[in-house]
Amino acid sequence: MQQSSKVLAVTGPTATGKTRLAVHLARCFEGEIVSVDSRQVYRGMDLGTGKDLADYGDLPYHLIDVANPRDEYNLYRFMQDAANAISGILKRGRLPVLCGGSALYLASLLQDYHLETFALPFRLNALTLGVYFPRETVRRRIAQRLDARLDAGMVGEVQKLHDQGVSWERLDSFGLEYRWIARHLQGMIDFEEMRSLLLNNIRQFAKRQDIFFRKMEREGVVIHWLPEGDPAEAEKLCGMFLMGESLPPPVLRISEISYPRKNGTPQLKRGLER
C-alpha cells in the first residue's frame, strides 16, 4: 500500500500571485517549493515564465532551472523529478508546497496519473488552494504584468536565448512570450503588434487554465479558491489540514461560476446558489 503524504498545492490562472502566496505559506509551515510549471524548468527563461526568483529569498525551491531550453522536457520527466523532489522534502521533515499553473502537470500529481512505465511511489494527500480573481480583474493584471516584464527586458531575454543557440523554431514552440517576441525579433511584426498579439494570447491562455481547473473540480479535486489569495484564510486552512482537522467546504467553486460575455461579471449558475 502506498504511503499517504501531506502536501500543499497553490494554483490559479496566470498573473494572480500564486508564487507570493506559496512562498508565504512555505515560510509559515517550514515548507519547500516545488514548481509546477512546464516552462520554469528551463534555464535562461526567467522573465517570460515569471520565475520571480527574488520572492524566494533563501527559501529552498525545486524544478526551476533544471533543463536546457534546447532539450525537450515533458510530463514523464516532470513526474519523475517531482517525485524525487517531494520525497526529499518529506525525508527532511518539511512540507512540500506545489506551486504553479500548469494545470495538466498539477492534475497528474494530484490525481495520481499513471504513465506507461511510471507511477508515483506515494499517494499525495493534498490541500489545494486556488487564487481567485474575477476574470476581468485577471485580464487587467495580465496587461500590467506584461508591460512590467517588457520594461524589465523580456525582449532582450529572448534575443539572448537565440544568441546562445536556441533556434527561432524552438522559441516558437514555447508559445506565448517566446513565440511572439521571437517573431518580433525576426522582423515579422513590429513591437506594438507583438504586444497586442501577446496580450491577447496570454488572456486566452488564462481562460484555458480556468477551463481546466473547472474540469478538475468536476472530476473530484477539491480546490479552496481564496478571493484575492487571502493569506490569512490560507494560513487557517493549512493549519487545520496539517493538524488533521476537518476542513470546511470550499467557499466557492469556479465550476459554478458563469461569465456573461459582455462585461465578464461573475455570476453563480442558476440552481447552484449556496
**Model pLDDT for residues 12-70, shown as the tens digit of each residue:** 999 999 999 999 999 999 999 999 999 999 999 999 999 999 999 999 999 999 999 99
Instruction: State which residues form the domain around 98.
Output: 4-135+221-268
C-alpha radius of gyration, the chain, whole number: 19
Is 66 in a helix, a strand, or coil? Answer: coil
The answer as to whether 114 is a domain residue is yes
The amino acid at residue 237 is L
Strand, coil or helix: 63: coil
Residues of the chain above pLDDT 70, percent: 93
Predicted confidence (pLDDT) per residue in 7-22, tens digit? 999 999 999 999 999 9
**Taking a C-beta distance cutoff of 8 angstroms, is the pair 98, 36 a contact?**
yes
Residues 27 and 162 grouped into a single domain: no
* Burial grade of 234 (CB within 10 A; 0-12, 13-18, 19 or more): buried
Which residue has cell 517531494?
A: 86
The C-alpha cell of 138 is what?
A: 485577471
Does the pLDDT value for residue 262 go beyond 60? no
Asked if the model's pLDDT at residue 265 lies above 80, the reply is no
12 and 31: one domain?
yes
Mean pLDDT in residue range 109-122: 81
- The residue ranking higher by pLDDT, 259 or 102, is 102
Q: Check pLDDT > 70 for residue 271.
A: no
What is the total count of domains within the chain? 2
**Together in a domain, 129 and 151:** no
- When pLDDT is averaged across residues 81-99 and rounded to a whole number, the result is 97
How many angstroms separate the Cα of 229 from the Cα of each of 25, 152, 241?
11, 25, 17
pTM (two decimals): 0.92
Grid coordinates representing 255? 465550476
Q: Is residue 216 part of a domain?
A: no
Average of per-residue pLDDT across 136-155: 98
- Asked if residue 264 has pLDDT above 60, the reply is no
Q: Which stretches does DSSP call E strand in the chain?
A: 4-11, 31-35, 61-62, 95-99, 123-132, 223-227, 257-258, 267-268
Statement: residue 179 has pLDDT above 70: yes
Question: Of the ranges 8-17, 31-40, 105-114, 136-145, which one carries the lowest mean pLDDT score?
Answer: 105-114
Provide the CATH number for the domain around residue 252: 3.40.50.300
CATH number of the domain residue 162 falls in: 1.10.287
- Residue 274 confidence (pLDDT) above 50: no
For residue 175, the cross-strand partners are: none
d(CA 69, CA 172): 12
Same domain? For 72 and 92 the reply is yes
Pair 105, 154 in one domain: no
- List Cα–Cα distances, 112 to 40, 122, 143, 179, in angstroms: 22, 9, 35, 32
The pLDDT score that the predictor gives to residue 111 is 87
Q: Does 261 lie in the same domain as 174?
A: no
Contact status, residue 9 vs residue 139, Cβ threshold 8 Å: no
Tell me, yes or no, whether 116 and 179 share the same domain. no
Q: Is the pLDDT of residue 2 over 70?
A: no
Residue-averaged pLDDT of the chain: 93
Buried b (16+ CB within 10 A) or exposed e, 127-149: bbbbbbbebeebbebbeebbeeb
Looking at residue 202, what is its pLDDT? 98
Contact 47, 157 (CB under 8 A): yes
